[in-house]
């Protein structure tokens, strides 16, 4: 407040200095309004790109001017060649809500489909601070050493508001982000979980077409987002931490039933014994739950994302899971079911939108809602009546279109 007072008093002495807006900070010189602030080095997501680790590389112009529009064929060709710049732009296209972009993204995805599906999709969840990002970095680096290419995506219901975890991941996944065999994309912003999930699913397909053969999807364990991630991955890993006697918290929330494996992280130093105790407790509890997948028993392990101990076990468990479920046909079955469920979810979303956007429904709905809320009309009858009105309008609209 003091600075605005100061500026006001400055205004009273005309001619002493050029006229400045009232909100200029004290440190702002006379050129304040036209000073160019240098940007933050890094890619679209604020993470350093492998080709931008030195200031010299960062200063180099990208091969394609970012303003130039790409055709669908150019996107497809670039992605299949593994061009990171085009991959980044393709994901931006997928994340866009603009109608023209959605259409172009769908044409692109259609062409990419034959090149997708050849990865192992792994979801990783756990309470905030469980060590998901640290673990993903350790696992990602380990997988790269094994000759894999790793894409890391995130679904973070809070990130669209705070962008908090992105800041954290920027520092935590630095070593992984620097590797050309990795690609890290934070959670897309964009409102409802359904919208974010659509974008993440499609981003996953684009990454597969670009040759990434392991996809890691991080989600913070705060409820619905776990179910969403479970519905798009082959293998779901729950990361727990020992302590506070709440090892069984996941059971209450139902998240343990979604897991194909549970890892107790931070099993290092003084925490090792507690982690082992938590492992045994959870292992016992799991015997009372029915496994979600035939011939697969969810087991509990310990690991340390910090020391790297047990990281190789994660990959061994995943490989075993893939081997067993593939031989039983369950792996493919799950993917087919997921694709169908996704289509139906989109269909439901679309139909709801058409219904709610119809001008007649928009006009009538508040009145009907009022009647239902006051107990004058039964909810079932009201819903039925609204659908009847909508259907009659559809027929009317159709005959008008035909004429
Ligand atoms: N001792 C120990 N600390 C760890 C380990 N893994 C992670 N941490 C620490 O735990 C803290 C949280 O780790 P993150 O990887 O950011 O946890 P996260 O689950 O991704 O957190 P959110 O993204 O905020 O939900 C950091 O300070 C890490 O250094 C581990 O294996 N051992
Ligand atoms: Mg994290």
List, for residues 261-308, the tens digit of each pLDDT value.
Answer: 999 999 999 999 999 999 998 898 888 877 777 788 899 999 999 999
Query: Average of pLDDT values for 312-324?
Result: 97
Q: What is the pLDDT of residue 50?
A: 42
CA of 285 from ligand 1 middle (Å) equals: 25
Please give the helix or strand (H or E) that residue 120 lies within, else none. Answer: strand 120-126
CA of 186 from ligand 2 middle (Å) equals: 10
Spatial separation of the C-alpha atoms in residues 277 and 298, rounded to whole Å: 17
Q: Does residue 153 contact residue 217 with C-beta atoms inside 8 Å?
A: yes
Query: Average of pLDDT values for 132-153?
Result: 96
Point out the ligand nearest to the CA of residue 137. 1
Question: Where do the domains of the chain lie, and which CATH numbers do they carry?
Answer: 116-327 (3.40.50.300), 338-402 (no CATH)
Q: Does residue 140 contact residue 253 with C-beta atoms inside 8 Å?
A: no
Q: What are phi and psi of 272, to 5 degrees?
A: -60, -45
More confident residue, 64 or 84: 84
Q: Does residue 226 contact residue 255 with C-beta atoms inside 8 Å?
A: yes
Helices vs. strands in the chain: H and E counts, helices first: 17, 7
Beta strands in 289-339 (DSSP E): 299-302
Ligand 1, atom 30, residue with closest C-alpha: 266
**What is the C-alpha end-to-end distance of the chain, expressed in Å?**
66
Residues at CB less than 6 angstroms from ligand 1 = 126, 128-134, 165, 168, 172, 220, 265-266, 268, 304-306
Atom of ligand 1 nearest to the CA of 305: 31
CA of 360 from ligand 2 middle (Å) equals: 46
The answer on pLDDT for 152 being more than 80 is yes
Point out the ligand nearest to the CA of residue 125. 1
Ligand 1, atom 25, residue with closest C-alpha: 128
């Amino acid at each position: 407040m003091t600075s605005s007072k100061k500026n006001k008093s400055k205004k009273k002495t005309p001619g002493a200095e050029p006229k400045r807006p009232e909100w200029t900070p004290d440190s702002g010189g006379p050129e304040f309004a036209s000073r160019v602030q240098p940007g933050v080095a890094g890619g679209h997501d604020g993470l350093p790109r492998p080709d931008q680790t030195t200031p010299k590389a960062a200063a180099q112009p990208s091969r394609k001017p970012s303003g130039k529009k790409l055709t669908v064929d150019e996107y497809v060709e670039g992605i299949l060649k593994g061009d990171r710049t085009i991959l980044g732009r393709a994901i931006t296209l997928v994340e866009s809500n603009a109608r023209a972009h959605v259409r172009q993204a769908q044409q692109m995805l259609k062409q990419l489909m034959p090149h997708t599906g050849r990865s192992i999709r792994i979801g990783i969840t756990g309470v905030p601070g469980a060590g998901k990002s640290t673990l993903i970095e350790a696992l990602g680096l380990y997988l790269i050493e094994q000759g894999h290419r790793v894409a890391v995506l995130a679904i973070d219901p809070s990130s669209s508001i705070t962008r908090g975890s992105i800041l954290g991941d920027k520092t935590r996944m630095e070593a992984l982000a620097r590797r050309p065999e990795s690609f890290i994309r934070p959670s897309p912003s964009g409102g409802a979980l359904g919208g974010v999930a659509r974008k993440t699913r499609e981003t996953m397909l684009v990454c597969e077409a670009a040759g990434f053969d392991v996809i890691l999807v991080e989600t913070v364990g705060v409820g619905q987002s776990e179910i969403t991630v479970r519905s798009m991955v082959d293998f779901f890993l729950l990361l727990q931490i020992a302590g506070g006697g709440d090892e069984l918290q996941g059971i209450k929330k139902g998240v343990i039933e979604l897991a194909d494996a549970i890892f107790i992280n931070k099993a290092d130093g003084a925490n090792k014994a507690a982690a082992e105790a938590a492992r045994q407790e959870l292992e016992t509890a799991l015997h009372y739950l029915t496994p979600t997948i035939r011939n697969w028993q969810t087991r509990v392990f310990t690991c340390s994302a910090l020391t790297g101990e047990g990281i190789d076990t994660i990959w061994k468990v995943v490989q075993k899971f893939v081997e067993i479920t593939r031989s039983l046909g369950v792996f493919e079955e799950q993917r087919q079911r997921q694709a169908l469920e996704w289509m139906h979810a989109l269909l439901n979303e679309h139909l709801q939108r058409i219904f709610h956007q119809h001008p007649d429904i928009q006009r009538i709905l508040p009145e009907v809602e009022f009647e239902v809320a006051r107990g004058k009309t039964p909810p079932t009858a009201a819903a039925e009546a609204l659908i009847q009105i909508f259907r009659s309008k559809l027929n009317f609209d159709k005959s008008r279109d035909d004429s």
